[in-house]
Structure 1
């Protein structure tokens, strides 16, 4: 018998669809309204006074007065907020700090205010409702749902709660979902990731799991444990599991492995959440890209990635973006981040409505020889090279080899296989050809005999997990960078290379 919840899901999804369509159909006006609201609300703050917000009337004024900054650039303001001062970046005090470990800044304290918190909650809910509206599928609503996340235990500092974003969000699960939701509070509080995954397996095995959610690399670990324990595919264990919700990394490199672990295809919804804001979610199953959240208290600017390190790169708003160009995304938010570079690069797949994919990190690229290879390119190369083959890849990362023992320099691909290719050099050739096709600079360097074809180094089973554990980053929201411009990461995990 259908529950009241599933009965109400469809009309509610229709209502949310209409609300989203209204602002998505009027993107420029929506962003202008957000911009004006942010400036007027923050004019009385320390930051607003320092940057003369009262005389900002438009984007050009804003660009003149507010430079682009990363966390380090805003840190002296954030430190004042952490110390308990009010009205610094946003009016009053934040209600939370999302604590993140930055790749360059050590620990970061990202403010979340009472104005910004709702969008963190509503965007994930709306993604599911848009899926219901599009597909009519409500079969999962009455089953159990799991979200693999950080501990919900929060600390307090000067009257502000402090924790990981996923742990903060755990406090906002709506009442109607609480009895459907796993793992239990006690299990969620386990700090050690491997102990936690084992506890989650124990709790979920007897349940009717219909929705599973989390970062692909960590969900994969959970799936593998289930298979080890039961000897069955995940789809056999959870017969009604039919929706996978993920964010944080590109799913495509994991898709073949996942479908093998599950034993069948399941629908998926991609999300783009971050401590700084919930930026986008997949609003249609048959469209590439995620709908940019233009009505969530976030004003977006974009800088072309290949101009980003110039002296005075041009900052544009959504009305001037083009499809397929690699942009650094800059945000100003109702949590008090201003002209803030979150470090991600995005590409628009559509401008009616505005949909994006995350193409990489502005710091994560390889340009040791001027090739400027980005994350999206190596992931697409891997996808193309392994498509319609038996090869299954667990994880990989790429680094330049500038001083080889013999011959020309090259890109070195460190790959952990679940199912190895019969011919490694054939895979290397296919990867290289795909990369040359996508990136004309790389093509020129290969053609001009500046670089030789890429080489593959096999990583032993669970090698990447061992590496993450050794640097204290196993689990949670942590992920291996897809590529780097130096060999710091790959040199530190020489112990996990495969020796066969």
Structure 2
């Protein structure tokens, strides 16, 4: 065992002891965080506008701070971007994480000197929790690759601007820098395909022990590695690969193919980082749910997903949530976001400690006919049948077909790229439809009431989604294909890739 591995074990034990303390008192930690955030921002423009000095309880907070999305908060954010100080948080942000919004164009998410360390600490603690649970620390002695955005920063009124992953790349602790790949030069390549090829060249002869990234782009990296090495499995290229760290999308669609590419199973850690804050991570190899970080500079609120569009939806603090209910996640952060709807939905699977699953996106659902089918229902229906049938799926998306030809009933149209196709697509489609009916009573009623016909699956060519993302200028990095939509923008683009 190397020195780093040996030192990491007692350090991991120390960190986990600290985590255990706040895990047992998560509700109290959240109450303390709310008051601390409000006090820190009481003299900002936002704090004055919302009478932060009068806030003593969560009820006070709810009565003064409405739930808003980026567009609603934009008048304040635009002032921050313009260089004004003390708008939403004290002083100016250290960074803006630039993201692409579907309705807002470019979005600038503030990252403060208080919030940035929480991102780094959470990523570190996810690894240390794994070390403590498994006793496996050998991976810290090998090379680690992080497939991420360019670390090159732009400037906007004196504030560094970049992708979150690129910002974090500039802040990797010194003790990990020597182990880290790709090189800074390669990381700065903007074209994703050129970048992946360069990463392959830099890593194919290295002792890679940890790989981190969004699953579809990690798969692309694995495919290029296999091509470059004459068809070798990843386990034969990286004999000591031990850990895969991922986030951003549900891993289940990619698990079978990634494990097939590797040639054996490796441990994995799911993380839930966002530009707004690092929200949760998987803290056990025996449990796929994610530990909500209740002591990380953010105060969470939860709105029942079916009330989200109401004028005055119910708002709950951590101590008020119920298990197995879908909630829209609302953030209040130590970078100055207040009542901010991040757009994700989560459900709690444990309250001791508080652990969540990410179930979808508020805007990513299908309700063209009143069915309100959500991502979790669609994914579970598909994976359950695919796993039972030995079918492997590379990627998929679903859209409503409201006006089918020849007088047919409307239907949900599924576009699926199969890594291993079903022997009988019609039979497979029927089983997926039946599984979805069991998940969603409204969908069941529409099918049995002959308002909708059963779903239709369109099988896509190999690399259809890669080619679509390339055509949309969203190949690689943190970009993801939406699984559900109420419109046909993606669906119509994919029709040219059908088999």
| TM-score between the two structures when normalised by the length of structure 1 | 0.98
**Counterpart in 1 of 2:269?**
269
Report deviation, 1:288: 2.9
Name segments (4+ residues, structure 1) moved above 4 Å.
Answer: none
TM-superposition CA deviations, 1:137-169 (whole Å, max 9, x none)? 112111110010000000112121110000000
**Counterpart in 2 of 1:87?**
86
TM-superposition CA deviations, 1:259-315 (whole Å, max 9, x none)? 111111111000000000000000111113100011111000000001111121110
Cα distance in 2, alignment partners of residues 274 and 15 from structure 1: 26
**Counterpart in 1 of 2:106?**
107
TM-superposition CA deviations, 1:424-449 (whole Å, max 9, x none)? 01110121121111111111111111
**Counterpart in 1 of 2:409?**
408
Q: CA RMSD in A?
A: 0.9
Cα distance in 1, alignment partners of residues 139 and 104 from structure 2: 41
TM-superposition CA deviations, 1:17-74 (whole Å, max 9, x none)? 0111100100111001100100000000000000010001111111111111100011
> Any residues of structure 2 matched to 1:233-244 within 5 Å, and which?
233-244=233-244
Contact 2:2 2:138 in 1 (8 A): no
**1:420 has 2:421 as partner:** yes
Cα distance in 2, alignment partners of residues 462 and 27 from structure 1: 44
**Counterpart in 2 of 1:118?**
117
Report deviation, 1:192: 0.0
Cα distance in 2, alignment partners of residues 285 and 18 from structure 1: 18
Cα distance in 1, alignment partners of residues 467 and 273 from structure 2: 26
Aligned residues: 497
Cα distance in 2, alignment partners of residues 225 and 379 from structure 1: 27
TM-superposition CA deviations, 1:382-423 (whole Å, max 9, x none)? 210111444211110001111111421111110011221111
Cα distance in 2, alignment partners of residues 497 and 317 from structure 1: 46
Runs of 5+ unmatched residues, structure 1:
none
**Counterpart in 2 of 1:61?**
60
2:350 is paired with a residue of what secondary structure?
strand
2:404 is paired with a residue of what secondary structure?
coil
**1:174 has 2:167 as partner:** no
> Any residues of structure 2 matched to 1:439-454 within 5 Å, and which?
439-454=440-455
**Counterpart in 1 of 2:315?**
315
Choose 304-313 or 38-47, whichever is displaced more. Answer: 304-313
Contact 1:253 1:382 in 2 (8 A): no
Cα distance in 2, alignment partners of residues 180 and 416 from structure 1: 36
**1:489 has 2:490 as partner:** yes
Choose 312-321 or 226-235, whichever is displaced more. Answer: 226-235
Report deviation, 1:349: 1.3
**Counterpart in 1 of 2:463?**
462
**Counterpart in 2 of 1:47?**
46
Contact 2:415 2:494 in 1 (8 A): no
Report deviation, 1:99: 0.4
**1:159 has 2:162 as partner:** no
1:387 is paired with a residue of what secondary structure?
helix
Report deviation, 1:229: 1.7
Choose 324-333 or 403-412, whichever is displaced more. Answer: 403-412
Contact 1:288 1:349 in 2 (8 A): no
Report deviation, 1:256: 1.0
TM-superposition CA deviations, 1:182-210 (whole Å, max 9, x none)? 00000000000000000111111000111
Report deviation, 1:463: 1.1
Cα distance in 1, alignment partners of residues 351 and 48 from structure 2: 35
Report deviation, 1:173: 0.8
1:301 is paired with a residue of what secondary structure?
strand
Contact 2:346 2:356 in 1 (8 A): yes
Cα distance in 1, alignment partners of residues 333 and 349 from structure 2: 24
Report deviation, 1:458: 1.2
> Any residues of structure 2 matched to 1:468-479 within 5 Å, and which?
468-479=469-480
**Counterpart in 2 of 1:302?**
302
